Amino acid sequence: MAIASIPLVYYKNIAWNPLWCKRCLICVEICPKQTLVLREDIIIEEENCIRCTLCQRYCPDLAIEVIPRR
């Protein structure tokens, strides 16, 4: 039995799950650097992300994960 993979969209600092996201925009509104935007029904990470993790902590759908630094 194959396990279905979660269709994550990877950006430089975050991974976003479009299937879990209900586009409530909490992540966009909570971001202190206005790094996240909603465009054409897709959450996009723009420049200046400081990896504060507020988007991840406040997302009620667990649709955003901050990617750890390597």
Q: Which domains does the chain have, with CATH numbers?
A: 9-66 (3.30.70.20)
Determine contact, residues 32/64, Cβ cutoff 8 Å: no
pLDDT per residue of the chain (70 residues) written in tens, 0 to 9:
556 677 899 999 999 999 999 999 999 999 999 999 999 999 999 988 999 999 999 999 999 999 998 7
Predicted local distance difference test score (pLDDT) of residue 66 = 96
Closest by CA position to 59, among listed 23, 13, 20, 27: 27
Give me the pLDDT at residue 5, please.
72
Torsion of Cα atoms, 27 then 39 then 33 then 47, to 10°: 130
Q: What is the pLDDT of residue 26?
A: 98
Q: What angle do CA 29, 17, 62 make, to 5 degrees?
A: 65
pLDDT at residue number 3: 60
